[in-house]
A and B are shown apart, each in its own frame.
Chain A
Amino acid sequence: MAFFLEVLFNGLLVGIMYSLVALGFALIYKASDVFNFAQGDMSLFAGLALVGFLTVMPLWLALICTIGVMTILAYGTVFIVFRPLVARPPLILFMAAIGLSFLVQGIGQSIWGTQPKGLFLGIPEITFDIKEVFLNTFDLTFGGVAGVLVVGLVLFFQKTRTGRALRAVADDHEAALSVGIPLLRAWAVTWMIAGIVATVAGVAWGSRLGVQFSLSLIAYKALPVLILGGIDSITGAILAGLVVGAGENLAEVFLGPYVGGGIQTFFPYLLALLFLWFRPYGMFGKEIIERV
C-alpha cells in the first residue's frame, strides 16, 4: 500500500509539471486559436537562457533576465509571425507554430550551444518518508511552485483588469476589438504569460534532467493532457495533468512489466483516446454544437 501511494504521489508531482506545459498550450489556444506546438521549445529556450545567464550573474537576476528574454520572444512571435496570419484557417496557424518551433529551437541552440548542461538551483534533494512513502524535497518544491503559479494565474484572469480583457479576447475576437481591446497586444501578453509558464516548466525539468534538446519533448507529454482536459480549458489542463501523471506512473510500475516496459510514451494518449470516445471535447472543453 505504501508503495502504491508512493508511486501515485510521485506521479502526481510529475503531473503538475505536465499541467504547467498544458496550461501554456491552453492559454495561447484560448486567446489566439493557435495550437502552439512551440510550447516545449519555449521551455527549452528558457532553460538555455537561464543557464547562459547563470554563468555571469546571480540566480535572482538571471531569472529576471530570462523572463525578459521570454517577453521579447513573445512579442517577436506575435508581431512578426502571427500578425500577418490573423484570420487564416486554424491549420495554417498550426503549421506556422510548427515552423516556429524549429525557429525557437534553432535560435536557442545557436546562441547557447547544443551540449547538455547541468542546472543547479541550490534546492536540496533530500529523500524522506512519511509512513514508508518516500518523497523528496526537490519534487515537492517544484510541485509547490507549480501550484502557486497555477493559483496565481487563475486569480490574475479572474480579478485583474488585464486578465478580464484577455478573457474577452478569448471569447470573441471581434467583439473584443469592438470594445477597444487591442487584439495583438492582448495576444502578446498571453504569449508572455505562456512564456513565463514555459520558463518554470523548463527550469524544473532542466534542473532534473539537464538542459538539452530533449526538454522540448515534454510538449508531447502535455498534449494528451491537453485534449483530455479540453483544449480551451485551464481547469481541464490542471486536472488532466494530475490524472495523466498519476495514471502513467501507475501504469508503468504495475502494468509495464507485463508488456515489456516503456509504455509511458503512449499510455497517456490511450487514456485520452478512451476518454474522448465518450466525451469528444475532453473533461471541460467547450462543446462545438453544429447546427444545420
Chain B
Amino acid sequence: MSQKTEPLLQVEDIHISFGGLKALNGVSLEVYPGEIMAIIGPNGAGKTTMLNVINGVYTPDEGRIFFEGKERPLKMKPHHVAAMGISRTFQNLALFKGMDTWCNIMVGRTQKMHSNLFSQGLYWGMSQKEEIEHREAVEWIIDFLEIENIRKQPTGMLPYGLQKRVELGRALASEPKLVLLDEPMAGMNLEEKEDIARFVLDANEELGYTIALIEHDMGVVMDICDRIAVLDFGNKIAEGTPEEIKSNQKVIQAYLGEAEGE
C-alpha cells in the first residue's frame, strides 16, 4: 500500500465519553483507498464506538473527521453519512427479520432509488423501471455471495452464518466508497470464516471496495488485512502492517497482560 495517496477516511483526535467513562481518548485513524484495514483490540477497547462515531450514531466530544479530503461536521445524521458513501454491518445481527433476503439487500440500495410515492403506488413508469433495474443489481450481489437459494426466505429464520452473509450483501448493495464491517466472522466455524474471508477479499480485489473491519480472529486479520490499528482502553496503541503488529511489544502486553510483557 502506498502511503502517499490521500486517505479516504481520516479521523483525528476523537474524544468521546459516556457519563464519565472515556470510551475514546484522542484516537486518530486513516483508511486509504483500496485497502483492507483492521481495527483490533480487547473487548471494551472502543472499536465499535469508533465505527458508531464514523456512522454518526454518536457525536464525539472533540475531534475532526475527513472523508475524501473534505471535513464533515461531527454531528451528522446517520443516513446522511450513508449518502456520503459509507456502509456498515453490525456486531450483533441487525437484519430486518420480517423481510426476505432480497428485500433486505434492496433496502441497502434505498439511497439510489428516487421514484416518488405516486409512481410507486401505481407501479408505473419510473418506479417499475427502477424496481427492475435495482432488482438486477441485487441479484448480482446474491450471485456474488452465493445465496441464491435463500433469496426469498425471511431472514429471521436463516442460520447465523447466512445472516452475516446477507448483512454483508446489504452493505455492498449501496455500492459504497467505504465498507465498515463490525466482527463479520464472530461466532462462526472455520468453514464459514473462510467463506466470509473469501468474500471480503473478493469484494476488495475484484470489486475494488475499500474495507475497514473489526475482528477478533488474529489469524484471519493477519492473513487478509493490509494494515492494522490496535485500540486498548480508548487509546490507539499501535498501527502498522501485520508483521509490525506481530512483533509490537505494547500489543503483546495488551493482549497477554503485563506479566508476559515484563
Is A292 at the interface (CB under 8 A from chain B)?
yes
Given the complex of chains A and B, what is the CA–CA distance between A291 and B91 in angstroms?
10
A291 to B92 Cα, complex, angstroms: 9
Give the tally of cross-chain contacts (CB within 8 A): 8
B57 within 8 A of A: yes
Question: Interface residues of B: mostly helix, strand, loop or mixed?
Answer: loop
B91 neighbours in A (Cβ, 8 Å): 292
Chain B residue total in the interface (Cβ 8 A): 7
Chain B residues contacting A291 (CB-CB under 8 Å) are 92
Residues of A268-292 contacting chain B, CB below 8 A? 291-292
Size bracket of the A interface: under 10
**A292 partner residues in chain B, CB cutoff 8 A:** 48, 52, 57, 90-92, 94
CB distance from A39 to the nearest CB of B (A): 31
Q: Which of B71-122 contact A (CB under 8 A)?
A: 90-92, 94
Nearest neighbor of A292 in chain B, beta-carbon distance: B90
Q: Shortest beta-carbon distance, B19 to chain A, in Å?
A: 11
* Assembly CA distance A280 to B56 (angstroms): 20
Beta-carbon contacts of A171-198 to B below 8 Å, as 1s and 0s? 0000000000000000000000000000
Report the separation of the CA atoms of residues A291 and B18 in the bound assembly, to the nearest whole angstrom.
13
Which A114-160 residues have a C-beta within 8 angstroms of B? none
Separation of A292 and B57 alpha carbons in the complex (Å): 9
Cβ of B254 to closest chain A Cβ, rounded Å? 23
Taking CB atoms, residues of chain A closer than 8 Å to B92 are 291-292
CA–CA, A179 and B256, complex, Å = 36
Distance (Å) between the CB of B92 and the closest chain A CB? 8
Bound together, the chains give a CA A197 to CA B87 distance in angstroms of: 52
Separation of A292 and B50 alpha carbons in the complex (Å) = 12
Shortest distance from the beta carbon of A193 to any chain B beta carbon, whole Å: 34
* CB 8 Å contact bits of B37-61 with A (1 = contact, 0 = none): 0000000000010001000010000
Q: Which of B10-64 contact A (CB under 8 A)?
A: 48, 52, 57
Q: CB-CB < 8 A to B48: which residues of A?
A: 292
In the docked arrangement, what's the CA distance between A292 and B49, Å? 9
Nearest B residue to A291, CB-CB: B92
Cα distance A292–B92 in the bound complex, in angstroms: 7
Q: How far is the CB of A167 from chain B (nearest CB, A)?
A: 24
Supply 5 further A-B pairs (C-beta < 8 A) apart from A292-B90, A292-B92, A292-B94: A291-B92, A292-B48, A292-B52, A292-B57, A292-B91
Closest 8 CB pairs of A and B: A292-B90, A292-B94, A292-B57, A292-B52, A292-B91, A292-B92, A291-B92, A292-B48
Residue pairs across A and B with Cβ atoms less than 8 A apart, 8 shown, are A291-B92, A292-B48, A292-B52, A292-B57, A292-B90, A292-B91, A292-B92, A292-B94
